[in-house]
């Protein structure tokens, strides 16, 4: 069960909730973890993998740091950076590469925030056919 877990990260403090939870789960199940962050700034959306910007460099450094954190605990981990609109890129990743579980932190917007902004987590979960673990950040 859950040999491969995709963990989506948005490079904010809300990531810590899902990171800590998945570390424990991956250890118990012996799962491989893939960390995915979608760079969605102007350069990333315009130039994709060829983008060169401080944001892209910070995103790469963040992914490397989190990957090392998992690996220090003996969890086989890959880190991948995608470029574009987060919902579209996460859905594409799951469709192309597959996994048994997608794990995401949520910001916990309520009512008006969700109506105006929607949530990446909600939009992803309705477009993929694998289980989604949503953990609300504190």
Encoded tokens for 57: 């460099």
pTM, entire model: 0.90
**How far, in whole angstroms, is CA 111 from its chain's centroid?**
24
pLDDT of residue 15 exceeding 90, the answer is yes
Task: Provide Rg for the chain, Cα atoms.
Answer: 14
**What is the reported pLDDT for 108?**
62
> For tokens 């605990």, what's the residue?
73
Enumerate the domain spans of the chain: 4-136
- What's the whole-number mean pLDDT along residues 106-114? 59
**What is the reported pLDDT for 37?**
97
Query: What are the tens digits of pLDDT across the range 64-89?
Result: 999 999 999 999 999 999 999 999 99
Torsion of CA 8, 14, 16, 17, to 10 degrees: -90
Out of 3.40.640.10, 3.40.50.620, 3.30.1280.10, 3.30.390.10, select the CATH number for domain 4-136: 3.40.50.620
Encoded tokens for 58: 């910070």
Give the pLDDT band of residue 109 (cuts 50, 70, 90). low
For helices 54-72 and 15-29, angle between their N-to-C axes, nearest 10 degrees: 40
Average pLDDT value for the chain: 91
**What is the reported pLDDT for 117?**
46
């Amino acid at each position: 069960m859950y040999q491969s877990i995709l963990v989506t990260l948005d490079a904010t403090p809300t990531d810590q909730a899902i990171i800590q939870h998945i570390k424990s789960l991956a250890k118990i199940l012996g799962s491989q973890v893939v960390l995915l962050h979608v760079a969605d700034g102007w350069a990333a959306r315009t130039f994709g993998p060829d983008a060169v910007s401080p944001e892209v460099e910070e995103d790469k450094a963040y992914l490397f740091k989190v990957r090392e954190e998992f690996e220090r605990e003996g969890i086989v981990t890959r880190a991948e950076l995608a470029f574009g609109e987060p919902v579209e890129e996460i859905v594409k990743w799951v469709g192309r590469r597959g996994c048994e579980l997608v794990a995401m932190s949520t910001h916990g917007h309520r009512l008006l925030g969700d109506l105006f902004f929607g949530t990446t987590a909600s939009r992803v979960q309705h477009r993929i056919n694998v289980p989604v673990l949503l953990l609300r950040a504190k």
